[in-house]
Amino acid sequence: MTISLIILIGLAVVIGVTAIRRPLISKPIFSIFKRILPPMSSTEREAMESGSIWWEGELFKGSPDWDKLHAIAKPQLSDEEQAFIDNQLETLLGMLDDYQIVHENKDLPKEVWDYLRSEGFFAMIIPKSYGGLEFSALASSTIVARISSRSLSAAVTVMVPNSLGPGELLMHYGTEEQKNYWLPRLADGTDVPCFALTAPEAGSDAGSIPDTGVVCKGQFEGKEVLGLRLNWDKRYITLAPVSTVLGLAFKMYDPDGLLGEQADLGITCALIPTSHEGVEIGDRHYPVAMAFMNGTTRGKDVFIPLQWIIGGADYAGRGWRMLVECLSAGRGISLPALATSTAHLASRTTGAYAAIRKQFGLSIGKFEGVQESLGRIGGLTYTLESMRTMTAGAIDLGESPSVVTAIAKYHMTEMARELLNDAMDVHAGKGVQIGPMNYLAHQYFGTPVAITVEGANILTRNLMIFGQGATRCHPYVFEEMEAAANPDAEAGLKAFDTLLLKHVGFASKNALSALWQGLTVGRFNSSPVSGATQHYYKQLTRMSTGLAICADFSMLILGGDLKRKEMISARLGDVLSQLYIASCVLKRYEDDGRQVSDLPFVQYSLDRCLNKIGVAFDGFFQNFSNRFAARLLKTLIFPFGIHYQAPQDDITQQVSNSLLKPGIARDRVSHLCYLGKNEQDSVGVVEQAFIAMNDVVDIERKIIKAQKDKLIARKTVFDVTLKNALEHEVITEHEAEQLKRAEALRVVAINVDSFKPGVLEGNSQAEQKKSVA
């Protein structure tokens, strides 16, 4: 005991006395840290430094303060925004015929373009002082989502000017002169913007764009001025074929020192009228047969004045920082809105279709295989709506959470793909036969677009979420990296020494906490609520602690190699992502007043999150290169094994049943889905049939009972069954008429489109419209 006491005292002195600790411990570790530190380019540093840390920071530190989550203001629409949605948006939705847009016009009709311009759909983010609507991120997201449930092509057309583009860049960085000229023109639709970033060899790696702008003198408006000689070749640029003003990202060089001593100034953004001499636009791409405008733009030796740089000459070389800051906000609004809209549409229509489509004498919704798909559709839809509102709400609070928006972009688009596959499976032939009455096919075509743009999903998951999250969200790592990069070695060591002491304490605390929570299975963790969701808060706290300790070990052991171990990084990113997703679900449940009808959706969502966390951790432990560390970590966090199960069958069936009958739960989970009121509206038709068939359930039961009692025959055609039921007074004349009407609507709803001979072979559009059967 005496020896142990002496050792403990010695350790305390070494650690506690700065003059001893710094040369013996901190300095050697500092040298090692600098060697293993992954190299960071200037573009990577700017991406790391951009944006803000929000709730994800709580999740990463190992002990989330759930009261902070509950204290976040509930996102809500203003009266003005709701009025726009109830009026202008409803008018627009009634004007859209997506089959005509995609298959006949391959463009929005002129009257729709005019309406979008005149009513400010392209100016939702522009301040009122410049003629815009100045809507919240939640309102923009809701409007785009609602449009998408009607027409994905129209939604993308509206989405782009209100996301990453000239409007947002001008608002944040433009000179007063630029704002005063361009923003009113963008607000009233005089100008249509596009933003050109992606080049043939620079997609997800946008920092490697080959397009250049060289500082030189040239002629502009009859005078010799200082400007840029631009050369670019861009592709995948949405709205480019119809744009009148081009936002352009390029690398700027000043070889002759006309602006100063720096020759390589870096990525810069400029705003150029497409009518300017040498600007080429017009060629279209055809993205998965969607009709939104997307194409190329090129320019060779195009001269522009320096004042066309967004923000003026002072912002030369600051374009990458501008882009990543704006992208993190736009990424949290646009693609999550499209994904959520797909889910609302799938939930509304698949539940209705499964209720009215019959096989083997039963609605297919009664078969457990279909119920499994419906449960997944409903559960993921609730999850997506929770993420949409919370992420948009963060932006409205003034946050720019780049890690959160990367999580939203990747996981929401992947969830939309998963549930849409389920919807297609349930609809079967109805889903694959294209025509005016198919409400799923265009969503199915368009889903890969959302997965591809704004950083391909593979890159987002494997590099961005944890790669950026581990550095930005960790309480100490980013500051330690800055200390290591300090050119003043003594100052860097001093800062590192202080941080190291805190970091060791942080890691030690998490290691002990992880073991305690593992041994007790999180049973003694605190929860801000009681009742059905109490268990989830406790388990999520436990998993947050597990993530914190695994992240520290990974960075300590792998160092710079962690950047290249993408599959390991991705699994830790999955844990962080599922913690955020679960937080969104819990927040929505509390914000909505713990609706009883929502509880099965909440339980499905949270069970799925915990199961995916378990799968991610299991993959991490199995594949971590240091086997001793992997076994140690698994023993600390999961001493009794990983036991998080996928959603149970009874919960899945409760969710499924909510979609198979009219009611509050179904309306709440699919409220963004537009229901047309005319007979040509595909979603409206299946909804009318669904309601009508629900209204005659009791009448059908009478007939089924009579068949069981052998009063009337089984397995006869509908008209014969109806006649027999009337003759034996099983039903009344009024009930028979109700059944006839409901059956007529059902038949129309389950039928698929067919075309007269010659129509699909190339007849004129007018003939096609007349010939659709």
Is position 454 annotated as part of the catalytic site? Answer: yes
**Runs of H (alpha helix) within 294-401:** 319-331, 334-356, 368-396
**How many Å apart are CA 221 and CA 310, to the nearest integer?**
20
**Distance, CA of 467 to CA of 462 (rounded, Å):** 8
Q: Looking up tokens 């009344």, which residue turns up?
A: 732
| Closest among 339, 345, 347 to 416, alpha carbons compared | 339
Which residue matches tokens 């809105």?
337
Calpha distance 513→681 (Å, rounded): 57
Q: Which residues, including other chains, have CB under 8 Å from residue 350's CB and lie 6 or more apart?
A: 373, 374, 377, 422, 423, 426, 427, 659
Torsion of CA 200, 205, 208, 213, to 10 degrees: 70
Name the DSSP class of 531.
S
Phi-psi region of 531 (alpha: psi -120 to 50; beta: other; left: phi over 0): left
Q: Find, among 300, 228, 215, the residue nearest to 260 by Cα.
A: 215
194 phi and psi angles, rounded to 5 deg: -140, 165
Contact at 8 Å (CB) between 662 and 694?
yes
The answer for 745, left when phi > 0, alpha when psi is -120 to 50, beta otherwise, is: alpha
Angle value at C-alpha 445, between 123 and 573, nearest 5 degrees: 80
- Three-class SS of residue 235? strand
CB atoms within 10 A of CB 713: 11
Name which of 464, 465, 494, 469 is nearest 482 in CA terms: 494
- Other CB atoms within a 10 A radius of the CB of residue 520 amount to 13
Contact between 277 and 302 under an 8 Å Cβ cutoff? The reply is yes
User: How far apart, in Å, are the Cα atoms of 702 and each of 314, 694, 734, 747?
Assistant: 79, 14, 14, 21
Tell how strand 245-253 and strand 294-305 pair up.
unpaired
Under 8 Å between Cβ of 226 and 220: no
H or E, element range at 405: helix 402-427
* 3-state SS record for 640-674: CCCCCCCCCHHHHHHHHHHHCCCCHHHHHHCCCCC
- What residue type is assigned to position 544 of the chain? S
- Radius of gyration for the chain, computed over Cα atoms and rounded to the nearest angstrom: 30
Separation of alpha carbons 264 and 42, rounded Å: 12
Residue 618: exposed, middle, or buried by beta-carbon count in 10 A (0-12, 13-18, 19+)? Answer: middle
Query: What is the SS3 assignment for 542-568?
Result: HHHHHHHHHHHHHHHHHHHHHHCCHHH
167 exposure class (CB count in 10 Å sphere: 0-12, 13-18, 19+): buried
Output DSSP code: residue 336. Answer: H
How many helices and strands (H and E) does the chain possess?
35, 9
Q: What are the tokens at 457?
A: 């999903």
Instruction: Please state, in angstroms and rounded to a whole number, the distance separating the CA atoms of residues 703 and 698.
Output: 9
Query: Which of 454, 480, 735, 743 does the annotation list as catalytic?
Result: 454
d(CA 473, CA 56): 7
Output the six-digit token pair for 297.
Answer: 């733009």
Q: Which of 276, 260, 384, 369 minimizes the C-alpha distance to 317?
A: 260
Question: Which pair of structure tokens corresponds to residue 114?
Answer: 């005019």
Question: What residues are annotated to the active site?
Answer: 454
